């Protein structure tokens, strides 16, 4: 039996390039590549998709849906890195750490949707607390988050990398999505167990990659007013056997950079680092997830899912 074959549809995009880089030197799989002049040819793409063991879609949402419609081979597995199928009922949400049965579901699935970067951080913090009843399902959750500019894809990367230092200073921090309804919200809502969508305020910083996802919790407004220790212990226990989710000690700010919490400290890893800060006197807490938006937030998660789908060692290609 030969090596499993993998086709990346959209290998020229930010995530596609990252995934290809992670897979290129591996000798346990074979990457099949479409000729440059054929990469927008629907018939050629269809042939490559249907001849692969796994096709990874690194495409805009509409193009990803189109690619799925190309599938005629019942044996081909699809891993979609776009947001097109993250809330689709007939797709498995590819977050292995989200719940105990999820790895087995990913392994057996023909259709897996790779999570988004912001939702990865949010769900890592919130899903266990909702499942355990610490955060009530009807609680109005708020998310404040910042990502490196690579999260905006090729266009935003080119914009940032082409401007002067003076212009870059003006771009140091920018809130966006002020009309609300960001495309990640449906994903956050569905997979969190919350009854209502969270209020999400994203922003971009003048750095290439890295991400902080912050969820403030006014403990005095939660049922039974949970302590910071209870919240921390719940998360610690939930992820105790997970290699790619780490939970720091309660109120641990030792990983700060100078006086600040560095958004880039998890870069070039496949980690989600979780932090719980709490003040029992003021009855306030803050959950923070830190990750590389191009790593565990995109290509790293895709490679992890690919390994599981192929029945391979989950850590291959992840350092």
DSSP string, 1-17: --PPEEEEETTTSHHHH
pLDDT of 1 reads 62
pTM here? Answer: 0.94
CA 65 to each of CA 5, 58, 60, 78, 155: distance values in angstroms, whole numbers, following the listed order: 21, 11, 9, 11, 22
Q: Is the pLDDT of residue 311 over 80?
A: yes
List C-alpha distances in Å: 61 to 58, 64, 159. Answer: 9, 5, 22
Mean pLDDT of all residues in the chain?
Answer: 93
Q: Token digits for 229?
A: 């220790």
Number of helices and strands (H, E) in the chain? Answer: 10, 13
Angle between helices 117-131 and 184-192 (to 10 degrees): 20
With a CB cutoff of 8 Å and minimum separation 6, the contacts of 67 are 9, 45, 49, 55, 57, 59, 78
Confidence band of 200 (pLDDT split at 50, 70, 90): very high
Average the pLDDT over 252-258 and give the result.
Answer: 73
Using the predicted structure, report yes or no on whether residue 114 has a pLDDT greater than 70.
yes
Q: pLDDT band at 176, cuts 50/70/90?
A: confident
Domain range summary for the chain, segments of one domain joined by +: 5-115+298-309, 117-293
12-62, pLDDT tens digit by residue?
888 999 999 999 999 999 999 999 889 888 999 999 999 999 999 999 999
Say yes or no to pLDDT of 254 above 70: yes
Q: In the CATH hierarchy, which top-level class contains the domain 117-293?
A: alpha beta
Torsion, Cα 200 205 208 213, to 10 degrees, reads -30
pLDDT tens digits along 121-169: 999 999 999 999 999 999 999 999 999 988 776 777 777 777 776 776 7
By annotation, the residues acting in catalysis are 117
Domain 5-115+298-309 class?
alpha beta
231's CB contacts (< 8 A; 6+ apart) are: 129, 134, 217, 276, 278, 285, 287
Q: Region 265-291: what's the mean pLDDT?
A: 96
**pLDDT of 170 strictly over 80:** no
């Amino acid at each position: 039996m030969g090596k499993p074959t993998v086709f990346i549809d959209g290998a020229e995009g930010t995530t596609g390039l990252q995934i290809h880089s992670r897979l290129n030197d591996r000798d346990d799989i074979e990457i099949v590549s479409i000729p440059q002049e054929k990469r927008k040819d629907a018939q050629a793409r269809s042939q490559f998709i249907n001849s692969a063991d796994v096709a990874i879609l690194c495409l805009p949402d509409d193009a990803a849906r189109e690619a799925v419609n190309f599938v005629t081979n019942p044996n081909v597995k699809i891993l979609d890195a776009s947001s097109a199928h993250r809330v689709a009922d007939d797709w498995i949400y590819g977050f292995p750490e989200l719940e105990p049965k999820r790895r087995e579901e990913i392994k057996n699935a023909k259709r897996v949707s790779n999570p988004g970067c912001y939702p990865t951080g949010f769900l890592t913090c919130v899903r266990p607390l909702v499942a355990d009843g610490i955060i009530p399902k009807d609680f109005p959750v708020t998310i404040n988050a910042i990502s490196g500019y690579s999260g905006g894809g090729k266009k935003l990367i080119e914009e940032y990398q082409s401007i002067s230092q003076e212009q870059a200073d003006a771009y140091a921090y920018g809130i966006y999505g002020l009309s609300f309804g960001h495309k990640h919200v449906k994903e956050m809502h569905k997979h969190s167990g919350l009854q209502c969508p969270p209020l999400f305020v994203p922003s971009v910083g003048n750095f290439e990659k890295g991400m902080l996802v912050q969820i403030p919790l006014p403990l005095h407004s939660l049922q039974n007013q949970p302590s910071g220790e209870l919240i921390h212990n719940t998360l610690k226990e939930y992820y105790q056997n997970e290699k790619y989710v780490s939970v720091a000690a309660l109120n641990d700010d030792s990983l700060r950079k100078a006086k600040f919490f560095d958004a880039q400290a998890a870069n070039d890893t496949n980690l989600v680092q979780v932090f719980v800060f709490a003040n029992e006197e003021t009855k306030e807490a803050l959950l923070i997830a830190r990750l590389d938006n191009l790593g565990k937030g995109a290509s790293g998660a895709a490679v992890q899912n690919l390994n599981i789908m192929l029945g391979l060692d989950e850590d291959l290609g992840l350092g």
